[in-house]
Amino acid sequence: MQRYKVTIAYDGTKFAGFQRQPDQRTVESVLTTAVNKMAKTLDGTIKVYGSGRTDAGVHAMGQVVHFDLPFNIPAEGVRRGLNSMFPLDLVAIEVETVDAEFHSRFTNVGKQYRYKISRKDFIDPFKRFYTYNFKFNLDLALIKAAMPDLIGMHDFSSFVASGNQSKDFVREIFDVQLEEHPELDEIHFIFRGKGFLYNQVRIMTAVLLEIGSGRRPVHDILRLYEVKDRLQAPLTAPAHGLYLEKVFYE
Amino acid sequence: MQRYKVTIAYDGTKFAGFQRQPDQRTVESVLTTAVNKMAKTLDGTIKVYGSGRTDAGVHAMGQVVHFDLPFNIPAEGVRRGLNSMFPLDLVAIEVETVDAEFHSRFTNVGKQYRYKISRKDFIDPFKRFYTYNFKFNLDLALIKAAMPDLIGMHDFSSFVASGNQSKDFVREIFDVQLEEHPELDEIHFIFRGKGFLYNQVRIMTAVLLEIGSGRRPVHDILRLYEVKDRLQAPLTAPAHGLYLEKVFYE
């Protein structure tokens, strides 16, 4: 038996999210079918484990999954085998053999998400599924002043969607960055943290955009930590601007 | 009556090309419906004229069309009106009022096409509809040496698809450029010319890729002008890498 760590990218547009659901095309179900087909285990006994879920429409440039094969073949052969089975909106970028102690979800030490915002005054037809078009004025200095408020250990109760299943709302954010890409008319937010609550990145993004457009005081994030009330931060930036970019392991 | 020149962009993926066809979703039919809806001419009497056709799957960043409205409203109002009617894979980038002498097709003095080639060793899920993935080795020096052979007035009989309706195969190419975009793992070919034959840009692209990968002598284009035989240049680069980028007027 050999365990494989696989780094995948997917265009989330036509997936009903990562997690397997009855009668839905999800990343997990497409992966599971492909791996079992490649291994010729037609009963679908090989399970695929992801580092975590992504929602419908959310993309990934570096999601990590793992599975065990009953035989040992070279990593590059697994990568080619998977890619020959995958639809074109899913690709295996890298495959590595790993020890049985490796677990995509339980041994990761952090994740990096990227949120892409298009700054054109019209929705670019080529980016309509891949960026959130925000055409209103933004003062980036306000956003830069607010971003450090997100870094560190905080109670993110005001930043969690109602479907969240955990009871502990304290999460640690390592770093938040703003990237300007004038040649693309885009700005990107990059969030790195130990782990994130359901919709947390999209809610943080919406709050930063409200701050940048002057509709929320620059240090309102500190108040939101105190009030622990999602109704005070009711907006969620749309799924199609969000990318799971990296999953970190020791 | 007022004539409007409209610069549009479209994602060609879900259009059956530019030209109106029965029971097909084409750019021309979507434009015509939107313009007549905006002008409240429900009988569809306002005709929309494009600078030329693009094939199914071919994109446009700067296609130009024109039409006449029975009333005179500001260009910016027309732009907003159109964009409120358009689906998200089509957008009006710029609208200008023009004289009745202006004609998108007959008064244009040239066009610029861009062909985007992705150089990853796998098909990037985010680019599958927007670049041609060519993973084989390319010697760009060979391509650069061949490109000047395309410039000037030439008989492009070897570079025309069988559906072409014209009988004169001489066309003038003003300029051919190679752009390298290492940060995107892409190279782009840019072709500027007075006008192009059916599939000419995609056939020239395929020939340049054959030259770059050593499967065709570097100056074989000169031979292709002589033989006037499409069977000697049988490949056509796929539609989804091609963009109509600009249409030039005096």
Digit-by-digit pLDDT tens for chain A (250 residues) are: 899 999 999 999 999 999 999 999 999 999 999 999 998 886 679 999 999 999 999 999 999 999 999 988 999 999 999 999 999 999 999 999 999 999 999 999 999 999 999 999 899 999 999 999 999 999 999 999 999 999 999 999 999 988 777 789 999 999 999 999 999 999 999 999 999 999 999 999 999 999 999 999 999 999 999 999 999 999 999 999 999 999 999 9
Cross-chain CB nearest to B126 (options A11, A83, A123): A11
B4 close to B96: Cβ distance less than 8 angstroms: yes
CA A122 → CA A149, B84, B195, distances in Å?
A: 31, 10, 30
- At residue B82, the 3 state secondary structure works out as helix
β-pairing, B90-98 with B2-10? antiparallel
**Tens-place pLDDT, residues B15-45:** 999 999 999 999 999 999 999 999 888 667 9
How close B130 comes to chain A (CA, Å)? 8
Annotated binding site of B for substrate: 113
The answer, for B88 touching chain A at a CB cutoff of 8 Å, is: yes
Residues on chain A touching B123 (C-beta within 8 angstroms): 88, 91
Structure confidence at residue B127 (pLDDT) = 97
Q: How many CA atoms lie within 13 A of B200 on its CB side?
A: 27
Give B201's contacts (C-beta < 8 A, 6+ positions apart). Answer: B113, B115, B191, B242
Look-up: residue for tokens 């037809």? A125
The answer, for A240 touching chain B at a CB cutoff of 8 Å, is: no
Q: What residue ranges of chain B have pLDDT lower than 70? A: 42-43
How close B96 comes to chain A (CA, Å)? 17
A111-125 burial: b if 16+ Cβ within 10 Å, else e: bbbbbbbbbbebbbb
Query: Which domains occur in chain B, in start order?
Result: 2-98 (3.30.70.580), 109-249 (3.30.70.660)
Helices (H), A86-199: 140-146
The answer, for A181 touching chain B at a CB cutoff of 8 Å, is: no
The answer, for A185 touching chain B at a CB cutoff of 8 Å, is: no
The answer, for A91 touching chain B at a CB cutoff of 8 Å, is: yes
Say whether B88 and A128 touch across the interface (CB within 8 A). yes
The answer, for A68 touching chain B at a CB cutoff of 8 Å, is: no
Helices (H), chain B: 27-38, 75-85, 140-146, 200-212, 220-227
Residues on chain B touching A83 (C-beta within 8 angstroms): 122
Annotated binding site of A: 113
Count of pairs with CB atoms under 8 A, one residue in A, one in B = 44
Of B32, B35, B63, B65, nearest to B50 (Cα)?
Answer: B65
Cross-chain CB nearest to B128 (options A88, A92, A125): A88
The answer, for B130 touching chain A at a CB cutoff of 8 Å, is: yes
CA A157 → CA A217, A224, A231, A242, B167, distances in Å?
A: 19, 8, 10, 21, 71
Structure tokens at B138: 């390319």
Structure confidence at residue B165 (pLDDT) = 75
Mutation target vs A (from B15, B30, B88; most A CBs, 10 A cutoff) = B88
Say whether B91 and A9 touch across the interface (CB within 8 A). no
Cross-chain CB nearest to B126 (options A92, A123, A130): A130
Residue length of chain A? 250
How close B240 comes to chain A (CA, Å)? 12
Cross-chain CB nearest to A125 (options B89, B125, B126): B89
Structure confidence at residue B41 (pLDDT) = 80
Q: Show which residues of B are catalytic.
A: 55
